[in-house]
Structures are given as C-alpha cells and as structure tokens.
Amino acid sequence: MQDLHVGWHRRSRALGAVAATTLTLSAGAIGLAAQPAAAVADETAPASVALVGSLQDELGCSADWDPACDATELTDVDGDGTWEYTATVPAGAYEIKVALNDSWDTSYGKNGGADNIPLTLAGDAELTFTWNQDNHRIGLVSTDLTGDYTDADAALAAAPVRQGTAEQFYFVLTDRFANGDTSNDAGGLTGGRDITGLDPTDKGYYHGGDIQGLIDHLDYIQGLGTTAIWLTPSFTNQPVQGSGADASAGYHGYWITDFTSIDPHLGGNEALAQLRDALHARGMKLYLDIITNHTADLISYEEGTYSYVETADVPYTDAAGNVVDISALAGQEDFPTLDAATSFPYTPVRNGDVIPEVLNDVTLYHNRGDSTWTGESTTMGDFQGLDDLMTENPIVEQTFEDVYTAWMDFGVDGFRIDTVKHVNYEFWQAWTAAIDAHAEATNPDFFTFGEVYDADATVLSPHFWDG
C-alpha cells in the first residue's frame, strides 16, 4: 500500500532504491545477495580476467590489488563467457572485484559496477569465484557446503517462524468496500468536500465505505475462506490536505491526527468494537494496519523550503547548543533535550494538533525536510511531506508502546506495521519487545508483521535479524 501514502502532499519526491551486495561465509555457510540488472554485452572477450582485492597476498600474489598477478586469474575454459577461479581462502575480512587485461582500465565490482564487494569468512574455505562477461557480475560458490540442514547448523540458522501464516487474510480498504451507514459519510463534519473529504465521484476523496459495510458482508467475506480481516489504517485522519487541484482526502488512512480513535468516516471506535465482536463470534480475527513513522502533515517550516538537509552539513544541537548525534543516542535514557528554535536545520511550526498530546511537541520530529529515499534520509526525512517522528527519542517509543498496547487491550488480534524500514532499528528492538511482553501476558497468539518496501535482500534481511 506504499502508493496510498501519495494523495496530496505539500511537495513530492520520486522514489529511489539503492542495491547493495555483501558476501558472507560463516563456519561453512555462504550467502550472496545482489539485485539483477540488464546485461550489457562486451563486444570482445577480454584477454585476461583477474580476481583482485585485499586477499591476493594470501593467494600467492606479491601484493594486494594487483591486476597483473597470474596467481588469481580466472579462466573461461569452455568459451561460454563465464570465467572461473577456485582457491582456498583463509578466514578474514576482505574486499574484492575483478580487473581485465592486467590493468585497472576496466574493472567490475558490486552489481557489475565500480564499488568493491565485501567478503567475510569465519573460517578457511574453498571458494569458486565466477565473472560473467555479459552482465559483468561476480558470483561465488562454496564447495564446502554439503547436505541438508542438520542439528549441527542450529547455531547458524534458526528454524523459520511460522506464527500467523495459517491465516487467510482479507485485506480491505474500508472506504472503498461498502457503505453500511450513510450517517457517517461526512465524518461528522459540515461543508463541502474541502471540509468533509467526501466526494464519491472523485477517487481522491472519501466514497462512504465504512466498518458497518464490512459487518453487513461478513457472510460473503468468510465464505471466501477468510480467517482474518486486515484493515487499512483506520485511525482518525486529517480529512483533507492541500488546495485546488492538489487537494485530496485521507480515505487511505495514512494522514493520522489521532492514534487513539477510529476515523469518524469509518464509524469510530464503537463500530470497530462491533466488528471485533462479530468476527470473534465467527472464530475470525481482526488485524489493524498501524503507523509509527509519521503523522499527518501538520508541521511547516518558517524558512518555507523543504529540501532534505544532511546531518553532516547541519548537525543536531541540544538545547544548550552542543552538537549531538541522535543516532548514536537512540533509545537511551540520557537522550538530549532539543530546542525548536535552534536544534534543527529548519524552524518547525505546528499548524494542527495530534493525539496523544505529547506528540504535539515539535522537537519530537526530525525536521530535516523531505526524504530522498537514500542514506540517513530514509529514516530521518519526511515521507513526502508527512511529519517524520524522531523515533530515536525514547519518549516517542514509549508513547507508541502505550498507544498500541491499548489497542491490544481493545481486543484486536494483530498488527501489520507500515513503513518499517523508515524507522530506526533501536525503536523496533524496544517496541517489539514491549509488544511481545504484553502479548505474552494478555494474548499469546497476538501476531505482528511489517512492511519493508524493497526487493533487495540486503535491505530486507537486517530487519529480520537486527530490527
């Protein structure tokens, strides 16, 4: 549902992606992760291809990074364009790439580009390095890997978690499903669509679907084999953002102003309680789509510009004027107190309130401008204008512990977590521990899963192991 974040925002950015490649060998296990890319064929085969890097002196070369060393040359024996070289490599941390024709005139590394590829070995290993002359990619095979998973591998790879995967989810954008109660179509507001957000003729506005519409059609939904309903974000939203041709409504649920209530357009908390009870009576479950990364666009900058400002260029300062690294201090009790007027690259101004009230403090937001979807801006930049919370601050983390354990006590059965990769790991480590502990005490079957909107395994995997 990444695209549903983009209705109207005060500014927009194109999404970008960065692929990374890391080779890791640990006690006989190896993993290679790389994003595929279109092949670019060489007109002629190179005269020679050498494995170069910080491991060459361990493999018989007189020096590292020597493209003319014969000891680490690859060969293309069958002429199919795939070059190979096999060697026993000692344990250690290295960087590698290939160089052509005994020189640095042409070389290839990560993703067929110029960057070196990290290679980490926990023990000595016999490895076969390959290089394809059409797509310029380096491959790696370990001949030490034999057989299937055994108990001896348990220290390296835990058995996969299967909790929650037995559910048959019905994922529903509530506003677009069915209108079961026309009295809530305008969300309790009075006026035209620029006030209420209601305009069933425009795909960018509320159409009138609500939770009662789901309740009315539970026979149909369950008849599909559904065991759990997963609602798009349902908390109270900013009804409309923007003006003129740039205006649209929060029918999608990502412009939250109150994390403690269900949007009146959908029927409010009472309607959700009725859906919960109806589902549980059928032996079905209720999942909420939740957000911790941002709120609605309720903060502007006095400067009137919103380009992202790197911390290397303008670092954060505490209220006393000392430079602070919030990433290094993430989650710590001595997290610094910041000053709205002096601590940020921009001067934040609040234009509307949020609930819980503590989140109205503008120093609990990053205030660095719009994300560029790369580097630090991935977790510190505004999500196309939506106000990015400073989740490194333990006040923010504790607030969301309180918010979402309350919804657990309300009786929902699980969460789908939005924008996971846009929040720092320390937040997830603390928050998920609290959610797990609360579930253990109240509902051991409570299940959470999250969205990391990326196809690159090197981006996905840290969220399994570190976050």
SS3 of 74, please?
Answer: strand
Catalytic residue among 210, 297, 392, 418: 418
418 tagged catalytic = yes
Task: For strands 414-417 and 447-450, give the pairing.
Answer: parallel
Q: Distance (Å, rounded) from C-alpha 294 to C-alpha 297?
A: 9
**Which of 285, 235, 243, 239 shows the shortest CA–CA distance to 261?**
235
List Cβ<8 Å contacts ≥24 apart for 83-88. 83/49, 83/130, 83/131, 83/132, 83/133, 84/128, 84/129, 84/130, 85/51, 85/128, 85/129, 86/126, 86/127, 86/128, 86/129, 86/143, 87/59, 87/126, 87/127, 87/129, 88/124, 88/125, 88/126, 88/127
Q: Distance (Å, rounded) from C-alpha 152 to C-alpha 272?
A: 48
What residue type is assigned to position 25 of the chain?
Answer: L
Question: What is the C-alpha R_g of the chain?
Answer: 27
Catalytic residue among 451, 454, 456, 466: 451
Whether the CB-CB separation of 308 and 398 falls below 8 Å is answered with: no
Helices 394-410, 425-442: crossing angle, 10 deg rounding: 30
Q: Distance (Å, rounded) from C-alpha 361 to C-alpha 105?
A: 55
Q: Distance (Å, rounded) from C-alpha 232 to C-alpha 240?
A: 18
Whether the CB-CB separation of 25 and 125 falls below 8 Å is answered with: yes
User: Is the Cα dihedral 336, 342, 343, 347 positive or negative?
Assistant: positive
**Which of 47, 170, 36 shows the shortest CA–CA distance to 106?**
47
Task: Return the number of other C-beta atoms located less than 10 Å from residue 329's C-beta.
Answer: 18
Q: Is the peptide bond before 356 cis (omega within 30 degrees of 0)?
A: yes
**What positions carry a catalytic annotation?**
418, 451
